[in-house]
Amino acid sequence: SYDLTQPPSVSVSPGQTATITCSGHKLGDKYACWYQQKPGQSPVLVIYQDTKRPSGIPERFSGSNSGNTATLTISGTQAMDEADYYCQAWDNSTGIFGGGTKLTVL
């Protein structure tokens, strides 16, 4: 089965850049997307098709995907960005989620 691996946690200081990675075999050959989930809330799409931002998502969120790794970058991280982040891709029409990364803004 196909797996997506994320670091369990990432810490960043306010105003700095947060980088969250998602690794999978030849992930760069697939589309990756990213979801933000705050406690008690439904996930929110923040990046789709590797690099695209949905309407309403701040420009500080960006994405890339190449080789075996997709990356979510949050520039100028704000306290409101503290959340769990999940990457997701499709493998043979099967939806795969990464295990999630807890982003702490300290």
Q: Which two tokens stand for residue 41?
A: 């809330």
Asked if residue 57 binds another protein (CB under 8 A), the reply is: no
Q: How open is the CA angle 39-45-49, to the nearest 5 degrees?
A: 150
Contact between 42 and another protein by CB under 8 A: the answer reads: yes
**The binder of another protein chosen from 5, 31, 68, 75 (CB under 8 A):** 31
Site size toward another protein (CB under 8 A) is: 24
- Considering only residues 21, 44, 64, 75, which one is a binding residue for another protein as defined by CB under 8 A? 44
- Which residues have CB under 8 Å from 86's CB, separation 6+? 6, 34, 35, 37, 43, 97, 98, 99, 100, 101
**Min dist. Cβ of residue 37 to another protein (A):** 8
* Strand-pair partners of 71: 21, 64
Is residue 88 a contact point for another protein (CB under 8 A)?
Answer: yes
Measured distance CA(31)–CA(39) in Å, rounded = 26
The token pair at 4 is 């997506």
From the list 35, 36, 70, 83, which residue makes contact with another protein (rule: CB under 8 A)? Answer: 35
Residues that bind another protein (CB under 8 A): 1, 30-31, 33, 35, 37, 42-45, 48-49, 54, 86, 88, 90, 93-100
